Amino acid sequence: MEPGNLTGVSEFLLLGFSEKPALQPLIFGLFLSMYLITVLGNLLIILAVSSDSHLHTPMYFFLSNLSLVDICFTSTTIPKMLWNIQTQSKSITYEGCITQMYFFLLFAGLDNCLLTVMAYDRFVAICHPLHYTVIMNPRFCGLLVLVSWITSALHSLLESLMVLRLTFCTDLEIPHFFCELNQMAQLACSDTFINNMVMYLVAVLLGGGPLAGILYSYSKIVSSIRAIPSAQGKYKAFSTCVSHLSVVSLFYCTCLGVYLSSAATQSSHSSAAASVMYTVVTPMLNPFIYSLRNKDIKGALKQFFGMEAIKKQLC
């Protein structure tokens, strides 16, 4: 195939983790299990928040949005990979690849933005407790989520349009389990200088900016907690941040680990395996992190399932 725009033409091949047939059932079972756990765990968080009126607060409003985004995040990549393994096919259409990349970037950006918003929520709650209900009113919380959606949608649209301008050659094999932006740029025959510049600029603005905001928020939170006279007060204030801080650390450390491992190794399969940490493992662990250390979530889930059991008995 000569270099040219692939619009309306062919397809890409997703090489995945391994080409050995014997490993395919193991990979299928492992990722199906992780996907089901991710969906079920995050759905339980959403159900707990929506069913208990005591959890209708800004913190849990943002948490339920994060759970919804995590479900969508994993659903953009895992089902297609499972389908390809089941059908013994590696193909994905050009349009399907661009669509998958768009939604992957959208939900990854939303994860990033929502974690930043949640850090700001904790900052206001601990550093300005008397003004918390005034500042974090429902209208402002909804606006924060809306801005996160708009920012992520514009970013993913920009990156997708930048890929659409590229031309591709005969090598259409993507050494990944989904259409990853950087891997697609490497397959292009045309000049990718502008694409790379846009990727680096966006990484600094939408990656470094939110991270700087989170670090600033927690620096102020730590200062406020240190000023609390009683040890019990310090523990109570810090305990509200532990779950969020754990999720933030997991998300950013795994992302950083992926890019460092990609730079350190020449193995494409190793890079794909490392990407599993923030694309699959992190969304799967988030519900456990928030529910295991959170009495409110556990109480809401017990109440929800208790009410369901009573309704079944009555019926």
- CATH class, domain 11-314, is mainly alpha
Q: What is the mean pLDDT of the chain?
A: 85
Q: pLDDT tens-digit profile of 244-288?
A: 888 888 888 877 766 666 555 555 566 677 788 888 988 998 888
Cβ partners under 8 Å of residue 47, min gap 6? 301, 304
In whole angstroms, what separates CA 53 from the centre of its chain?
27
Position 310 scores a pLDDT of: 58
Note the pLDDT tens digit of each residue in 139-182. 999 999 999 999 999 999 999 999 998 888 776 888 888 998 88
Tokens 């989520």 -> residue: 145
The pLDDT of residue 6 is above 50 = no
Q: Check residue 5 and give its pLDDT.
A: 45
Q: Structural domain boundaries of the chain?
A: 11-314
Model confidence pLDDT, tens digit, residues 55-79: 899 999 999 999 999 999 999 999 9
Residue with tokens 């969508």: 72
pLDDT for 238 equals: 80
More confident residue, 16 or 118: 118
List Cα–Cα distances, 95 to 6, 75, 102, 188, 215, in angstroms. 9, 17, 11, 16, 38
| Cα distance between residue 175 and residue 54, in whole Å | 47
How far is C-alpha 175 from the chain's CA centre? 21
Model confidence band, residue 133 (pLDDT cutoffs 50, 70, 90): very high
Q: What is the pLDDT of residue 2?
A: 43
pLDDT given for residue 268 in this prediction: 58
**Which residues, in sequence order, are bridge partners of residue 173?**
13
Give helix 282-292 / helix 58-75 axis angle, nearest 10°: 150
CA–CA gap between residue 213 and residue 223 (Å, rounded): 16
* Tokens describing residue 33: 């299990």
**Residue ranges of E strands in the chain:** 11-14, 91-93, 173-174
CA atoms within 13 A on the CB side of 114: 26
Q: What are phi and psi of 4, to 5 degrees?
A: 180, 170
Q: Could you read off the pLDDT of 89-132 as tens digits, one per residue?
A: 889 998 999 999 999 999 999 999 999 999 999 999 999 999 99
